[in-house]
Amino acid sequence: MPKIYFDHISSNPLLPEVREAMLPYLCGEFGNPSSLHDWGQAARDAVEAARAQVAALVGAEPDEIVFTSNGTEANNLAIKGLALAYGEKGRHILVSSVEHVSVLNAVSSLERFGFKLDLVPVDKNGRVDPADVLSRLRPDTVLVSIMTANNEVGTIEPVSEIAHLVHERGVLFHTDAVCAAGNIPLNVQNLGADALSLAGNQFYAPAGAAALWLKRGVKIIALLDGGFQENKKRAGTENIPAIVGIGKAAESALKDMERRAEQLEPLRDRLLSELPKRIPYVYTTGDLSRRLPGHASFYLEFVEGEAMLLWLNSMGIAAGTVSSCTSKALKASHVLLAMGLTHSQAQGSLTFSLGIRNTYSDIDYLLATLPGIVDNLREMSPLYDRFMKGVA
């Protein structure tokens, strides 16, 4: 039985060159970057080299990069740190209804300090209309956060247009680019944001390495109290092996991004077009034209996503349903509900996120395997039985 991984939106394997770059810092190189001796200076040099590599990935300057432990921390630092730093200007925060829970929950936590959360709706493809953002801006709006690309449905948002409109009103703009950075071209000079979150495990770096880009001159309140690491924006001894890894992975992503997209898009498109032909009552989710290169997502009526995932896993296929950060909650996806799906439709969601090791034979195996799984599950579904009998 083959072993096929279609859950790259959750995490990715290390590239060989990334592993090689990290090895010295897992063995002989163990210095603390804050130390003044040679061991410490070697570690400091490694951190700064990685900082330059990550900055280059998004067209930034090295001193604008703040390393964090993951995308959730980067989003929390951006949302809370910016809101608290500029709170005297207002307490209204505007985010889309399909943001990652690390953004939604970060804003919710700020409500205890008098901030107010307002949600921007999306269309049936999960796309934010810039006009809707503009219409919801208020004199007391201090921050807008709209993700660059959605992790559940793959839709790429018009963040540059939104950032321009937001800045015309003198409001800060943050984008969660965790699923986009390293996978599609991004340049903060053109994007128009004030802050951008990214995570290495989305582009073949180790988990535990991420970053926040913060535009020069933009203030932020650090969330961790301690030393003076990361230019006083994030206290704590740096994870040197992971930081070296994200740096090397960023360098590889910048060099190979176009080639990777050319490899992944035909695989993605075959899956998007063929799966609804093989199984009745299957529908794609997300924008078909503005979509991450390796992202294919669906909802299947009369069957639950968790059951399909478990059965697929027994057949050697790893896939996803709702965000991995909420998968244990067993609730309908807030993203799909915001797009207009019912609870029962949202609970039948499946996401296949492809990586550079996937092949056409992997797609063909999935297309041959999933129809039988769905047939078996629907045979056990009273909803499907009632539907087939025409019972309301």
Residues 213-244 pLDDT 10s: 999 999 999 999 888 888 888 978 899 999 99
CB 9 within 8 A of CB 179: yes
Residue 27 falls in the annotated catalytic set: no
The 282-284 sheet, strands edge to edge: 282-284, 295-300, 349-353
State how far the alpha carbon of 156 is from the alpha carbons of 115, 135, 272, in Å.
28, 21, 16
Would you say residue 324 has pLDDT above 60?
Answer: no
Helices (H), the chain: 16-22, 38-57, 71-85, 101-110, 130-136, 159-168, 188-191, 229-232, 240-278, 305-314, 334-338, 343-346, 360-379, 382-388
CA 103 to chain centre: 11
Residues 351-365 pLDDT 10s: 999 999 999 999 999
The token duo for 119 is: 């949600």
Q: Which amino acid is at 65?
A: I
Residues 156-184 pLDDT 10s: 999 999 999 999 999 999 999 999 999 99
In the block, tokens 């006009």 appear at: 131
State how far the alpha carbon of 349 is from the alpha carbons of 92, 156, 171, 379, in Å.
33, 19, 36, 18
**What's the average model confidence in pLDDT over 367-384?**
93
Q: Could you give the CA distance from residue 195 to residue 173 in angstroms, rounded to a whole number?
A: 7
State how far the alpha carbon of 147 is from the alpha carbons of 57, 83, 136, 244, 261, in Å.
18, 17, 17, 26, 20
In the block, tokens 């207009």 appear at: 340
Q: Which CATH number fits domain 4-10+257-388: 3.30.420.40, 3.90.1150.10, 3.40.50.2000, 3.30.530.20?
A: 3.90.1150.10
Catalytic residue among 184, 325, 356, 367: 325
**What's the average model confidence in pLDDT over 121-132?**
98
The 116-120 sheet, strands edge to edge: 65-68, 210-214, 195-199, 172-176, 141-145, 92-96, 116-120
CB 51 within 8 A of CB 247: yes
**What is the CB-side half-sphere exposure of residue 261 using CA atoms within 13 A?**
14
Instruction: Give me the pLDDT at residue 84, please.
Output: 97
| Sequence spans of domains, the chain | 4-10+257-388, 16-253
Q: Could you give the CA distance from residue 295 to residue 59 in angstroms, rounded to a whole number?
A: 24
Q: Which CATH number fits domain 16-253: 3.90.420.10, 1.10.1040.50, 3.10.28.10, 3.40.640.10?
A: 3.40.640.10
Instruction: Give me the pLDDT at residue 29, please.
Output: 84
Instruction: Give me the pLDDT at residue 325, please.
Output: 52
Instruction: Give me the pLDDT at residue 328, please.
Output: 53
Q: Could you give the CA distance from residue 201 to residue 260 in angstroms, rounded to a whole number?
A: 16
The token duo for 313 is: 């896993």
CA angle 67, 325, 318 (to 5 degrees): 105
Q: Could you give the CA distance from residue 16 to residue 356 in angstroms, rounded to a whole number?
A: 13
Task: Please state the length of the chain.
Answer: 392
Instruction: Give me the pLDDT at residue 186, please.
Output: 98
